[in-house]
Amino acid sequence: MRVLVTGGAGFIGSHLSERLLSDGHEVICLDNFFTGRKENIVHLLSNPMFELLRHDVTQPLLAEVDLIYNLACPASPVHYQHNPVKTIKTSVAGALNMLGLAKRVGARILQASTSEVYGNPLVHPQTEEYWGNANPIGPRSCYDEGKRCAESLMFAYHNQNSVDIKVVRIFNTYGPRMLEHDGRVVSNFIVQALKGEDITVYGDGSQTRSFCYVDDLVDGLVAMMESVDFTGPVNLGNPNEFTVMELAEAVIRLTGSSSKVIYKDLPQDDPLQRQPDISLAYEKLKWTPTIELDEGLCKTIKYFSARPGLGSMAGV
């Protein structure tokens, strides 16, 4: 099939593009390179089944495609808070444009939503039936509410125009090709450890996260796109819960770093608990992650240690 991946030069999008090519599909990678990087997909440019298109999803697109993975949107607080108006436009106008394309050509479309739609959850772990506890005017709202609106648009187009939709809610994902300074906890800790700097923990470190390795996530995205008679939304993430302090200790151990942990104030609206219930994903998709945290961290550390200025730590 001919597959459009918006945000295809980003962290997750580049891994997904690789997978789709290996499955024999033709891939159109669309990216405006705000957070995507050409180096993530440069090794794919010689593949005749791969096409790179510099384009912003907030602008309409004419293309003939069979499947659309709509991943375009900055996903880390540093980047989505940099220009909150643009973030909202990317989620909302981007979804409208991609839904318009899907309707016009009869394509199936998968929307990459987020666990952030649950806000700072009052239900734990989070199931798809939970409506969330999100602040509609807080510093994270440009991302949270943009993604919530994108989900609403997906179902409106599905119910009104019979567009074939899939909605996935992605929980914390990590792995090679993350940006060094994107504010996400895994990349922050690894970069600080490799540099021998203090590791910055916000709050007391007791807040929890669930970390899914990118290869597992890509498996889930593909399984969802290939599913029959199931729109979602569905949680995709690793159900194993760790405190932020446990993550910091694991990174220090695996890098052999001498870094010390320091504490700073918890940012506003930062969720205290985040753990997916993936029962629905297992039931409908037969999907469950297989890569444990230590294994995934080792692969991610190896990637970062090869980056300029980060590979001097002994034993890495």
pLDDT tens digits, 171-223:
999 999 999 888 889 999 999 999 999 999 988 899 889 999 999 999 999 99
Contact in structure between 263 and 198 (CB atoms under 8 Å): no
pLDDT of residue 183: 80
- The answer to the question of residue 198 being in a domain is yes
- The answer to the question of residue 93 being in a domain is yes
User: What's 122's DSSP letter?
Assistant: S
**Is 254 in the same domain as 229?**
no
**Is 183 in the same domain as 52?**
no
Does the annotation count 143 as an active-site position?
yes
- The answer to the question of residue 253 being in a domain is yes
**Is 197 in the same domain as 140?**
no
Q: Which domain holds residue 298?
A: 174-209+239-274+291-305
User: What's 266's DSSP letter?
Assistant: P
**Is 160 in the same domain as 296?**
no
pLDDT in tens, the chain (316 residues): 999 999 999 999 999 999 999 999 999 999 999 999 999 999 999 999 999 999 999 999 999 999 999 999 987 677 778 789 999 999 999 999 999 999 999 999 999 999 999 998 999 999 999 999 999 998 989 989 999 999 999 999 999 999 999 999 999 999 999 998 888 899 999 999 999 999 999 888 998 899 999 999 999 999 999 999 999 999 999 999 999 999 999 999 999 999 999 999 887 767 788 899 999 999 999 999 999 999 999 999 999 999 887 765 434 4
User: Which residue out of 69, 80, 118, 143 is catalytically annotated?
Assistant: 143
- The answer to the question of residue 284 being in a domain is no
- The answer to the question of residue 80 being in a domain is yes
- 257-286 pLDDT per residue, tens: 999 999 998 877 677 888 999 999 999 999
- The answer to the question of residue 314 being in a domain is no
Instruction: Output the pTM of the full model.
Output: 0.94
Sheet with 165-170, strands from edge to edge, namely 50-54, 26-31, 2-6, 67-70, 108-114, 165-170, 234-236
- Percent of the chain at pLDDT > 90 equals 83
**Is 130 in the same domain as 187?**
no
**Is 260 in the same domain as 126?**
no
**Is 160 in the same domain as 266?**
no
Q: What is the distance between the alpha carbons of residues 132 and 129, in angstroms, rounded to a whole number?
A: 9
Residues in Cβ contact with 76 at an 8 Å cutoff, skipping those fewer than 6 apart: 35, 179, 182, 183, 184
Count up the domains in the chain and report the number: 2
**Is 146 in the same domain as 70?**
yes
CATH code of the domain in which 126 resides: 3.40.50.720
- 178-190 pLDDT per residue, tens: 998 888 899 999 9
